[in-house]
Structure 1
Amino acid sequence: MTENLVSMKVDVADHVAEVTLLGPGKGNAMGPDFWRELPDVFKRIDADPEARAVVLTGGGAHFSYGLDLPAMMPEWGGLLGADSLAGPRTRFLDDIRRMQDGITAVAACRKPVIAAVSGWCIGGGVDLITAADVRLAGADAKFSVREVKVAIVADMGSLQRLVGIVGEGHLRELALTGKDIDAERALRIGLVNGVYPDQAALVDAARAMAAEIAANPPLVVQGTKDVLNLERERRVADGLRYVSTWNAAFLPSRDLGEAVGAFLERRPPKFKGE
């Protein structure tokens, strides 16, 4: 079975669901279509008895450039204005939590998810792969928790989930600097389980791992994932609720406007702490 949506394609064969990000933004950037379709796709996979494991990958050279700011800004309208009152900020809080629910649908899917990352994986892309059970990378993969560089506190799950993957010290370095790391560093710190020479070898490895999982008793696999998720789900849920409230209150700023303007004008931003 193959299903083509706007932002992703879903294939199910031999008990493995393969979800391929399609954009439509450059580098599979995450715009309104992505945030609308993501939770529905993973809820359907969760309910599909034919799917026992999932491969999540990016179409083209890159996994994802992360949040598609230009595409999202018209949807948010005046919600990010520094002088916006309680009504707009409440609507923005609802938007943040709706987007968080999309990433959480990946983590909550009872079928184990293997993320196969080629090229860039930035911001929201890192949020997405931290919700997967296993991450594999191509030799060309690069990762960045880049929100700090665009005047945003990362609020889709990286700050909550990465601590259990790479540890406190590495998480703080990545989140506070916004630096890029390559596949070798990602392997060294435990962000990925393996690095493969090219995209074809990477996807083959992810499919092979998914097939190995799918060959095990499906209810036992689901039960194992459920037990592994127990402590993390509680901690992550508390953290997501806190950061969504924080950003609804403090994200609107002149620095955010400067970050968006600099991005659109292709120039370095000049932040003033306002």
Structure 2
Amino acid sequence: MNTIKSLILNQPKNKFTAAVLRAYSSSKYSYETLAVSVPKKNVYHVELNRPDKLNTFNLAMWNEIGQCFKALHKEPECRVIVLSGQGKLFSAGIDLKSLVGYFTQANEIEDPPRRGRFLYDWMKDCQASITTLEDCIKPVLSVVHGACIGAGINLTTAADVRYCTEDAWFQVKEVEVGLAADVGVLQRLPKIVGNTSVARELCFTARKFDAKEALQIGLVGKVLPDKESALKHALQVAEDIATKSPVAVQATKLNIIYSQDKTPKEGLEHIALINMLNHQGEDFTKSAIALATKGEKPDFEDY
């Protein structure tokens, strides 16, 4: 397999071999609840793939989201990730059958401290799964169509960039099922929208809000007419990002995430420490020469 890959990589101008290479890359990532493809060079497309179950989160999906984004974090050929859902909607939230099964298991443990530890460990695993989108050094662009409920909105708030369709609607649903959301939306939504009053009202009431309001409050950056146009736009943006220096893009994400809960001074120190190395790299030199000479865009190595 390595020999085949080497032969393909030595023929970058050939469109057929480029398609074969994308197929080879995506075939490395096979999951029960996710579909992974490589529609453009260095752009990976991750789709929630339980359309018959409205892309609800069962145990396998919780596990595989974490596995997938950890793997793409380390994948040199992956520079940008587009996240979407197959079927008629993005996600209807948690699989209630799966949730009831977990609580049934917990209730079979008689001792409260041990029952509590079981529930705590489960919640921490689910939190870690969602957080892999932030921990992944590659930018994640989320495309929401139809409903985005509960676990779905928790997931999309962990993405770097969010787009949605005109028919999209959102709901922080957890209080309706007697729970406080515990996998990220309470922590991320207020920072994203920059208005704690709006964020708290949405979380306290569990009311649905549409694409127009999502754009108004800043949850999404753009509303597109339908899923096809939304994915087309996201892939165009992803392709553009993928042409930039992966060293620069990844350092940018790293510092943005780090600086979210830090002072400007701490954030500035962090990027100075990163760039004292990156400024010495070949990507900076290539980019500077291309800009100065108005030459062709540099072809950066995978990173």
The two structures share one fold, judged by TM-score above 0.5: yes
Structure 1 residue 102 corresponds to structure 2 residue 129: yes
Q: TM-score, normalised by structure 2?
A: 0.74
Q: Which amino acid in the other structure matches residue 212 of structure 1?
A: D
What's 1:48 paired with?
A: 75
Q: 1:176 aligns to what?
A: 204
Matched to 1:221, the amino acid is: V
Structure 1 residue aligned with 2:288: none
Could you give the per-residue CA deviations for residues 191-235 of structure 1, whole angstroms, max 9, x where no partner exists?
00000111100100111111111111001100001110013368x
1:9 paired with 2:25, answer: no
CA shift in 2, pair 1:23/1:80, >3 Å: farther
Alignment pair present for 1:125 and 2:166? no
- Separation (CA, whole Å) in 2 of partners of 1:80 and 1:138: 41
Consecutive unaligned residues in structure 2, runs of 5 or more: 1-24, 263-303
When residues 34 and 217 of structure 1 are mapped into structure 2, their CA distance, relative to the original with a 3 A threshold, is: same
CA RMSD of aligned residues (A): 1.9
Q: Report the 3-state secondary structure (helix = DSSP H, G, I; strand = E; otherwise coil) of the residue aligned with 1:28.
A: coil
Structure 1: gaps spanning 5 or more residues: 235-274
The structure with higher relative contact order (CA 8 Å, sep 6+) is 1
What is aligned with 1:220?
Answer: 248
Residues 87-166 of structure 1: matches in 2 within 5 Å? 87-166=114-193
Equivalent residue, structure 1, for 2:216: 188
Map of 1:206 onto structure 2: 234
Query: How far off its partner does 1:72 sit?
Result: 3.0
Name which of 20, 35, 43 aligns with 2:47: 20
Letter paired with 2:32: V
In the alignment, the residues of structure 1 paired with residue 214 and residue 163 of structure 2 have an alpha-carbon distance, to the nearest angstrom, of: 10
User: How many angstroms apart in 1 are the aligned matches of 2:175 and 2:107?
Assistant: 17
**Rounded Cα–Cα distance in structure 1 between residues aligned with 2:224 and 2:247:** 30
Deviation at 1:36, TM superposition (A): 1.1
Measured in 1, the distance between the counterparts of 2:92 and 2:59 equals 14
What is the CA-CA distance between 1:6 and the residue it aligns to?
1.0
- Contact persistence 2:190–2:196 (CA under 8 A): yes
Q: Is the 8 A contact 2:47 2:83 kept in 1?
A: yes
TM-score normalised according to structure 1 size: 0.82
State the SS of the aligned residue for 1:116: strand
